Amino acid sequence: MGNPLKEVELGGSKNPEKSQSNLPGTLIESAEAPLLSKQCRSDEVNGALPPSSGAAIAADDAVVYPPEVIKEMEVKYTAYVRHDVYGNWGMREICYWEKFKLLLALVALCPIRVFLLFSCLVLFYVICKLCTYRVAASSSDEGQESFAHMTGVRRTVIVRSGRFLARAMLFIFGFYYIPVSYRTSATQNLHLGLEDSEESKESEEKKSEFVRPGAIVSNHVSYLDILYHMSASFPSFVAKRSVARLPLVGLISKCLGCVYVQREYKSSDHKGVSGVVLERLQAAHNDLKAPGLLLFPEGTTTNGDHILPFKTGAFRAKTPVQPVILKYPFNRFSPAWDTISGVRHVILLLCQFVNHLEVTHLPVYRPTEKECSDPKLYANNVRTVMAAEGNFIMSDIGLYEKRIFHNALLGKPMPVAPAPEGNEMK
């Protein structure tokens, strides 16, 4: 029996302009979620929430939401609802047979996989350490550090060993076979309604020309997405600044040439990071030796059934992009990292003997003149093509709504709404 939430069409699918949930102090649209809005107003009256300011209360004050409010949230924020047997946060009650299989895997399979994964990570760290010996990292005024500028044998060793070990780690996680398919530009034009237009003819004339994309644009489902892309093309990607300071992973991220950002930061920092990303996109497009850049324009992960609105950072450089669609079919545990803690997700993933990943590479998307002058149009068109090819539900929610949903499930107060200007480089 299919999940009824899959059939729900969110208001933003028809009218993206309608959503006001990204405005400061706005918790929810009353017309779309009357029970949730009523509960929020009740919390304000009772002192659980401050009056309509969006400010959160003390972290140790629990907020209890009635079951009907949670049900309403699961419909409105269905992009973050887990549909596997373990449910949201992996806390759903399971049968004794399921518990037995989980315990057996936890004892017999999980330790072996942890050892092998850690061995791969340490081995790659040692390779990166040796290859960067006596090599100075390139740095910038924005605090970016990278070893991606290296060339020759050292760079070749890092890239080839990185791709091999990333695929080995996916194999250890249970992704034994990953089918990869490729689409033609004809289907791309069909999804945009351009099959008989001048733009379509222009695209057909250019499709035989080799074009290097400035970025790989992918839907975001899990941290496993990065492992796949590392194994496929070893691109740079955008990461939180704290990643650079992590043991083992920090050096590896610098060898990948990651662009480090803060999720919340000042506008002056945003301009600096934006400039770095635009430069990297241009370099990747024009220089065959420059590392490609992987971007997840949704800005957060979903359950794999939806595609969120795209941020425009990947499209402001006006360079072609390579859309890639990742799908994780499952029977018991979903590899999607949506509404579940990182530790519980890793444990349940390691306890599942076989996991599945299907990859679809779409043709390199070359922007038209109109799209070059309008990054939002460019982003929306790429999203439309990916939604059609991946059979995704187009949702109009984002990271803030995800935090609302998570806080409600955990009994925490509503989060503070973000300022209008945010990080467009995610």
Percent of the chain scored above 70 by pLDDT?
A: 75
* Length of the chain in terms of residues written: 426
Helix or strand or coil: residue 172? helix
Question: 268: helix, coil or strand?
Answer: helix
Residue 377 CB partners (closer than 8 Å, separation 6+): 370, 371
pLDDT tens digits, 3-38? 433 333 333 333 433 333 333 333 334 344 555 555
- Is 157:129 a contact under the CB 8 Å cutoff? no
Helices (DSSP H) in 92-242: which residue ranges?
Answer: 96-108, 110-131, 152-172, 185-191, 198-206, 224-232
DSSP line for 394-418: E----HHHHHHHHHHHHTPPPPPPP
Q: Domain boundaries in the chain? A: 4-97, 103-396
pLDDT at 414 (0 to 100): 87
What is the distance between the alpha carbons of residues 313 and 297, in angstroms, rounded to a whole number? Answer: 7
Give me the DSSP letters along 322-366: EEEEEE---SSS----SSS-HHHHHHHHHT-S----EEEEPPPBP
Higher pLDDT: 266 or 7? It is 266
- Given a cut of 80, whether residue 169 has pLDDT beyond it is yes
Q: Is the pLDDT of residue 54 over 50?
A: no
Residue 50 has pLDDT above 60, yes or no: no
Edge-first strand order for the sheet with 321-327 is: 180-182, 358-361, 321-327, 215-218, 293-295, 236-240, 259-261
- Determine contact, residues 149/276, Cβ cutoff 8 Å: no
Other beta carbons within 10 Å of 185: 17
pLDDT per residue as tens digits for the range 387-404:
999 999 999 999 999 999
Please tell me the predicted confidence (pLDDT) of residue 241.
Answer: 87
